[in-house]
Amino acid sequence: MFPYPFVPGKPKIFRSRVKHIVKTDGFVRFTLFPLGFDGFEPGQFLRIHGWDGVMPSYIGALPEPGQSLPLSDSFLRSPYPMLGRSLSISWSHLDSSEGNSLRGFDLIVRAVGVATDQMKQYEETKELLVIGPLGKRGFQWNGRDRALLVAGGVGIAPLLPLAQALRCSAITTQAFLGARTEREFPPGAREDLESLGVEIHLSTEDGSVGQQGLVTDLLDGALTFGQNAEVCACGPAAMLQALCRLCEEKAISIQVSLESMTACGIGACLGCAILPASKDPNHLLKVCVDGPVFQGKELKWP
């Protein structure tokens, strides 16, 4: 268990304005300061709903900016807009003068489609409806000596607060970041890790920065059989599958955060269901409520 604020808080509904927006080629990064947000386990996520997509009749039922509502009743019964998008809670803004209290956090978005492209148009006045923290299971720490964080592209998002939590717990951390090309590293992520003193290794497929090739090759060279380390990873499914195989061969524990497509985000639709390693075909795992972080050995890969 990590110290506060990296512990799971109660999910609530917030209205929050976008701040400190940064846009690069394929990414947008911004900060939210939702008042009353209790804390979160690195790996947990939010559902984001832009006001533009919300029917006006909901608005009267929603909190004023800065207020929050506990999700005590099932909000499935309420007319809340269901089809938001899932985004990992990323770099946290901590107030060290107040015992590391959580002031806000960043979201890092890779624009790939309808909703995320729209997020690239956000300006600082944009107001969002936010639900979170969601997900039953974030990254867990089980007392190993060393953490190896492995990210593919925007997969760095949930690993940034994990690096902060590991730093609070004085655990030695190395990061292995991969992308197709240098422009595909999300804005600010390397600088954030550097500010924590994390040792960073880079790979790009085109060799524009770091070692040329895949991030799995980069990690392979750094792992020794049976090492007392935990690999924590997030990125494309093919990368996570290759990492799980590598860690199994080297008898090293691995946790992966899955960023599958989600429809409802709250366990109601089976849109994010995946197969577990156990052979029972009746037992599916739902990324949004059973995860999004899983032990590598829990998962069945194609």
Ligand X SMILES: Cc1cc2nc3c(=O)[nH]c(=O)nc-3n(C[C@H](O)[C@H](O)[C@H](O)COP(=O)(O)OP(=O)(O)OC[C@H]3O[C@@H](n4cnc5c(N)ncnc54)[C@H](O)[C@@H]3O)c2cc1C
Distance separating alpha carbons of residues 150 and 156, to the nearest angstrom: 8
- CB under 5 to 8 A by kind: which of ligand FES, ligand X, none does 1 bind? none
CB 84 within 8 A of CB 47: yes
Candidates 73-81, 103-111, 123-131, 210-218: pick the segment binding ligand X (CB under 6 A): 103-111
Q: Does 116 bind ligand X (CB under 6 A)?
A: yes
Q: CB-wise, 90 or 203, nearer to ligand X?
A: 90
Q: Does 265 bind ligand FES (CB under 6 A)?
A: yes
Q: Does 179 bind ligand X (CB under 6 A)?
A: no
Q: Does 85 bind ligand FES (CB under 6 A)?
A: no
Listed in sequence order, the DSSP H helices in the chain are 114-119, 159-168, 189-195, 215-222, 237-249, 287-290
Among 262, 285, 296, 299, binds ligand FES (CB under 6 A): 262
SS3 40: coil
Closest to 157 (Cα-Cα) out of 258, 19, 294, 12 = 258
Both tokens assigned to 13: 């509904």
- CB 105 to ligand FES: min, Å: 22
Neighbours of 249 (CB within 10 A): 11
Cα–Cα–Cα angle for 235, 205, 244, rounded to 5 degrees: 35
Both tokens assigned to 2: 């990590």
SS3 216: helix
Q: Does 257 bind ligand FES (CB under 6 A)?
A: no
- CB under 5 to 8 A by kind: which of ligand FES, ligand X, none does 251 bind? none
Q: CB-wise, 63 or 267, nearer to ligand FES?
A: 267
CB 70 within 8 A of CB 132: no
Q: CB-wise, 81 or 267, nearer to ligand FES?
A: 267
Site for ligand FES in 270-299 (CB under 6 A): 270-272, 286, 288
Q: Does 119 bind ligand FES (CB under 6 A)?
A: no
- CB under 5 to 8 A by kind: which of ligand X, ligand FES, none does 174 bind? none
Q: Does 159 bind ligand X (CB under 6 A)?
A: no
148 bridge partner residues: 174, 231
Contacts with ligand FES by CB under 6 A lie at 262-265, 267-272, 286, 288
